[in-house]
Amino acid sequence: MEHARRPLIAGNWKMNGLRADGLERARALAALAGAADAPPCDWVVCPPASLLLAVGPALAGSPVTLGGQDCHTAASGAHTGDVSAAMLADAGCRYVIVGHSERRADHGEGDALVAAKAAAAQAAGLVAIVCVGETEAERDAGRAHAVVARQIAGSLPAGASALDTVVAYEPVWAIGTGRTPTPDDVQAMHAHIRSCAPPAIDASALRILYGGSVKPGNAATLLRLADVDGALVGGASLVVEDFWAIGEATR
C-alpha cells in the first residue's frame, strides 16, 4: 500500500542563538504557524541545548515541535558536557538529530555510535533524525550510493521503525555551500535509501528528508520529488521568513 508521508521540515540552528534572538525567532515562527490554517507539514526546530528550556515554552500551543541536535547513548552518568535523550525528552523535545556530518567530522562519530544514539533516542520516546551523506570526493569517485548504503546499514538501530526514525540525506559538500545535487541525483539517492531500509522498517512509510543548502528558491523543486519527504534546513532555518517559505513549498 502506498503511504501518504506527511512532510517534515526540520530546522537545525546548530551553535547559533542567545536567549534574545532565539526567543524572538521561536515566537515569530510560532505566530506564523499558529495563524496559518491546516499546516501542510510537520515542523521541528532544533536549537542549541542551552536554549531548549526557553524556546520550548515559546513554541507551546503552536504546531512547531522541539528537537535536540545530538544525544548521548547513556541515559545519565559521568559524561561531562553531554546531554541524554531522556534529558531532551524532559526538556520537551520530540525529535533529536543524530549522526550529523558535523558531528561525524568534528567528533569522529561513526555508524555504530550513531546507531546507539538513535536507539537511546527511541528508548526515550524521541524520533531520531539519522543523518547520512557522502563527501564530495566520494561522489566524484562514483561511490555515493555505496557510502550511503553502508551508512544506512550501520546507523539505523535494529529496533527502528518508520514511526521513530527519520532519515536525512545530506551530501556533505552541499551543507552550507549553496550547492545542491541535481533534482535527478536527489531523487535517485532517496529512492536508493528507501530500497536500502532494513526489512524491519516499513520503507514506504519512512520519511526521508533532503538537507544541504535548502532555500526558499529551491525548496519547491526539491520537495516535490517523489521520495523527498521534507527537509533538514541549517542556515535558512535562522531566518524565520525563509524557514516558513520552505514549509509552505510543501503545499
Task: List the beta bridge partners of residue 95.
Answer: 67, 127
User: How far, in Å, CA of 136 to CA of 147, rounded?
Assistant: 12
| Contact status: 235 vs ligand PEP (CB under 6 A) | yes
Q: Which of 102, 138, 170, 248 is catalytic?
A: 170
C-beta separation of 192 from 143 below 8 A: no
Q: Is 145 a catalytic residue?
A: no
Which residue in the set 233, 240, 246, 249 belongs to the binding site for ligand PEP (CB under 6 A)?
233
> Residue 175's closest CA among 84, 87, 101?
101
Of 31-90, which residues contact ligand PEP (CB under 6 A)?
Answer: none
How do beta strands 165-169 and 93-98 pair?
Answer: unpaired
Interface map 173-212 toward ligand PEP (x if CB under 6 A): --xx----------------------------------xx
Catalytic residue among 72, 100, 190, 192: 100
| Least gap, CB of 101 to ligand PEP (angstroms) | 7
- Closest chain position to ligand PEP (CB): 234
When the beta carbons of 178 and 198 are compared against ligand PEP, the nearer one is: 178
219 binds ligand PEP (CB under 6 A): no
Shorter beta-carbon distance to ligand PEP: residue 138 or 242: 242
Tallying the residues shown for the chain, one arrives at 251
Residue 2 is among the residues annotated as catalytic for this protein:
no
By CB under 6 A, the count of residues binding ligand PEP is: 13
Positions annotated as catalytic residues are 100, 170
Binding site for ligand PEP (CB under 6 A): 12, 170, 175-176, 211-214, 232-236
